[in-house]
Structure formats: structure tokens, C-alpha cells
Amino acid sequence: DFPVPPLTGSYYLTSSVNIGEVENKGWEISAKWTDQLDEFSYSIGGMLFDNRNQVLKAGYNTTDTLIFKGTNDRIWYRGIPINNYYGYRTDGYFQNQEEIDATAAKFPNTLPGDIKYVDQNGDGILNDEDRAYLGDTAPHFNYSVTLDMRYKNWDFSLLGQGVGKRVGRLGGQEGYPVFVDGGSNNLGAPRQYYADNRWTPETPNSRFPRVWTGSSTNTYLSDVWLSDASFFRIKSLQLGYTMPKVRNNIRNLRIYFNAQDFLTFTNWEGLEPERDGGNGAYPRMATYSVGFQVTLF
């Protein structure tokens, strides 16, 4: 906010102004090949593109740093992407009370199985000064592939789409073990994936921290909750067969099977690699259909 001089007569003492400077650079390539061999014809195509941005000025000067009030998990300073993860780096989990007692930099009420956050500035205290840039939120190396084939009365088409690099954030029902108000689990049950990979004294090197209820410092944004969200998905697949001259008044009849979003290859630990969250959102659903097309004289 920028201060407004009282002599202007404005009701407000501050006013929002545009500050900062961002640079965007991108590229795109595409190719397609079509051929025919007797009664067999085919077409193969593909596209690959990417866009990168970086903050040139976060404020009035190139040395300014800006942390958002409403979204304090994001930071701006020269050289980093405009959309980013700003949180804590971690060093595993506390294994026992002795390790907790021997660690100066920790949050209050830390228990075995909680996340061990890194004290970035080495002052023996964990606070906002220990947060760091954890990565870019944007998808990179976006691509698509198409395949169309015809042989006699048969036709086949396929569309695939994917992202070569993206860091996603697990959260809510998708990431946390029991997302509750402190008394009752009013938002549903934890995912089996979390239950199978949670910390216990018998599984000290697990993927996730211990199970907790109510508020917890484990929910702070950290590299624990970031995961590989790159993927390749079959967006649509269709197989059809055309019967010519079925009757005198029907030129041809085409019967086809269609499938959409039915197959995804990904290492994403959540439910939907194209969407972060976990509360009030559903993963993309697979759709199957059978239909026919009639051409009349």
C-alpha cells in the first residue's frame, strides 16, 4: 500500500499501486507426419512448449523482497518464478524424546514423529526467517501427441497429453492424515496411502510424519508436502467401424467406442496430478461411451 496525502480529501489513508517487474519467456515446437500405404493411412503429430518467468523487481528496487500477506507461502525477489513455494526445508523426523530435547531449533509441543525443520540461519530458533524458496509451481515441458489411423472400414484416433516437470503440493484430505477440527473427523477419513506410509517407531524412515489430530506444525509448507506431479494421460481414444450402404436410404453406418481420461501414468502421490488441494475437489473421471453415426441419402 502507498500512503495517500490527507490533502487529497480521500477517505482512505493508503492506496494500492502497481509495483514490481516480471519477465516471461517461452517457446513452442510442433510436427506432423502423414502417409498412406495402400488401404492403410496414418497421421502422427506432436507438440511441445514451455514458458518460464522470473521476477526482475519485487518492489521499487531490484533488491526488494516481497512476502504476500494473504498467501505467505509465496515470496518474490529478483531471479525466482512469480509463482513459487516458500516454506521450510526438512531433515527427516524426530525419532524419540531424547532427540527432541537435544535440538534447540524446534516448535513448541514437538513429539516423536513430527517433522524436523532446518534452522536455515543457525540462530537456534525456528520462525519465518528460516523459510526458503522450495520450487516453481508452474507446469513445464507441456506436450501432446496425436495418432490417427485408417484401414479399410476401421478408424482409430488417440490424443495424449502430459507435463514433463511439475512440483505439486499435497494438502488437506489428499495429504494430511486426519483433517479435523480438533474433536471429530468431520471432513472424512484419511487416505490409505498415508496410513501405509506414516511414521511409527517401527517405521522411522517413512514417507510422511506421524498421525495427528487438531492443529499441528506438521502442516506448515515444507518440502515434505511437495511431490513430483509430472504425468502422461490418454485424453481420448476412439475406435470405429463404418458399414457402407446398410439399406437403400442409409449411405453408411458408423459404430464407435470412445474412452476419455481413462489412463494416466504419474508418480504423483495425490489423486489428480493436474490439481493441487484435497478439499472439495474430485479427480478427473474416466468416461466410456458407445455410439453410432448414420449418414442418410
Residue range 214-265, pLDDT digits in tens? 778 998 999 999 999 999 999 999 999 998 877 777 788 899 999 999 999 9
**Same domain assignment for residues 182 and 125:** yes
- Structural domain total, the chain: 2
The answer as to whether 58 is a domain residue is: no
| Domain around 141 | 137-166+229-297
Confidence band of 151 (pLDDT split at 50, 70, 90): very high
Q: Is residue 148 part of a domain?
A: yes
Q: Is there a single domain that holds both residue 106 and residue 154?
A: no
**Looking at the domain assignment, is residue 1 inside a domain?**
no
**Percent of the residues in the chain that have a pLDDT greater than 70, as a whole number:** 85
The string of pLDDT tens digits covering residues 152-201 is 999 999 999 999 999 999 877 666 665 544 454 455 556 788 888 999 99
- Whether 145 and 285 map to the same domain: the answer is yes
Count CB neighbours of 5 within 10 A.
8
Residues 123 and 214 in one domain: yes
Structural domain includes residue 10: no
* Prediction pTM value: 0.84
CA dihedral 127, 132, 135, 137 (to 10 degrees): 40
Judge contact between 114 and 93, C-beta under 8 A.
yes
Whether 154 is covered by a domain: the verdict is yes
* pLDDT recorded at residue 86: 94
